[in-house]
Structure 1
Amino acid sequence: MEGVLQFKDYHVLETHYMFNPFLDEEEERLSPRFEYSLDFPEEENKKLAFIKLGITIGDENLIKNSFFVSATILGVFSIKSKEELDEEEIHSFYKINAVAILFPYLRSLVSDLTGKGSEPPIIIPTINVVELIKKYEEEKRIEKEAQK
């Protein structure tokens, strides 16, 4: 049985890991920042989509945290449906389901990347993808309004 949303492939676009062994933080405050984007190579035909999913954890200057990790992956998805889907349904399939499919790949990438050094790996907990997307879109809306 074939589903409506088809996961074609994924690619690692960017990884970055830095560690400062001289910063001795008792308990580091971690606040992962996620981002995602949805792009269509052919705007009029939304049967193929690229979902970019990224995460940043830590302090890039290695002052507030002893490490910094950033990773971005790109998923390639398509929709196969015998019935006609409206634009809202198509966006929902890509936005919610595709991000939920990609998230474990991003978690694994961060764990693999950070586990190669002398420190224990960073293991990102599972998350509610719907809430993650709502939060991200709300932050983007607030940023946009602040720029006006």
Structure 2
Amino acid sequence: MAVLEFKSYSVNELSYKKNDLYQGTRQNINLDPEINIKNTLEQDSIIVTVNVQVGSQADKQTPFMVTASISGEFAYHENEDHNQVGVDTLIKKNAVAILYPYVRSLVSNITNASNQFPALILPTINVTQVLEEKGKAHEAAD
């Protein structure tokens, strides 16, 4: 049995909103995804939520706004953690790395279904780096 068991995931939110202010061309689109992660402990399960927002409805150079949110359910098996990595590290790194491809797929599918622009394929991410940057941003805000 694995130390971190991925049980399932569910889609919390998936939306596509066309930006009527868009005045650019397809070649000028610059979309930087905003990624947020939340962890919740529920009895014996760990729920990890990954939220992604791409685009804007206020920027004239952005043709749309997409929001995607999924939650994954995980179980931590402490007796299998022979290297003593710990639940926090596994959740912060591995759980997000497991869930992110599902978010990428949702965003690609919904933008492709819009039939106005090519499918948006979110970039792959270095989960550790993204979490460190988010941590630094939170420390600076405090």
The two structures have a TM-score, normalised by structure 1, of: 0.83
In 2, Cα distance between equivalents of 1:84 and 1:30: 39
What is the alpha-carbon root mean square deviation over aligned residues?
2.1
2:2 is aligned to: 3
Residue 78 of structure 2 corresponds to residue 81 of structure 1: yes
**Following superposition of structure 1 onto structure 2, how do residues 33-44 of structure 1 map, counting pairs within 5 Å?**
33-42=34-43
Unaligned 5+ runs, structure 1: none
Write the distance in 1 (CA, Å) between the matches of 2:53 and 2:97.
Answer: 18
What's the secondary structure of 1:109's corresponding residue?
helix
Q: Distance in 1 between matches of 2:42 and 2:33?
A: 29
Corresponding residue SS for 2:73: strand
For each residue in 1:15-71, what CA deviation from the matched residue of structure 2 results, as whole angstroms up to 9, or x when unmatched?
1111236623141222211000111014xxxx5200000111111335341111111
Deviation at 1:111, TM superposition (A): 0.5
Question: Residue deviations 1:102-146, cap 9 Å, x none?
Answer: 010010010011110112110012111111111122222222x2x
1:107 counterpart = 2:108: no
Moved over 6 A (4+): none
Structure 1 position 28 matched with structure 2 position 29: yes
1:82-97 aligned within 5 A = 82=79, 89-97=86-94
**TM-score scaled to structure 2, two decimals?**
0.86
**Deviation larger for 94-103 or 63-72:** 63-72
- Aligned residues of 2:97 and 2:127 also touching (Cα < 8 A): yes
Aligned match of 2:121 in 120, 123, 127? Answer: 123
Percent sequence identity over aligned pairs: 30
Match of 1:132 in 2: 130
Instruction: Provide the C-alpha distance between the structure 2 equivalents of 1:116 and 1:83, rounded to a whole number of angstroms.
Output: 43
Q: Equivalent residue for 2:11? A: 12
Task: In structure 1, give the amino acid aligned to 2:94.
Answer: N
Whole-angstrom CA distance in 2 between matches of 1:88 and 1:80: 11
The letter for the 1-side match of 2:54 is I
Q: Which one is further off, 68-77 or 22-31?
A: 22-31
Aligned length: 138
Distance 1:30 1:4, change over 3 A: same
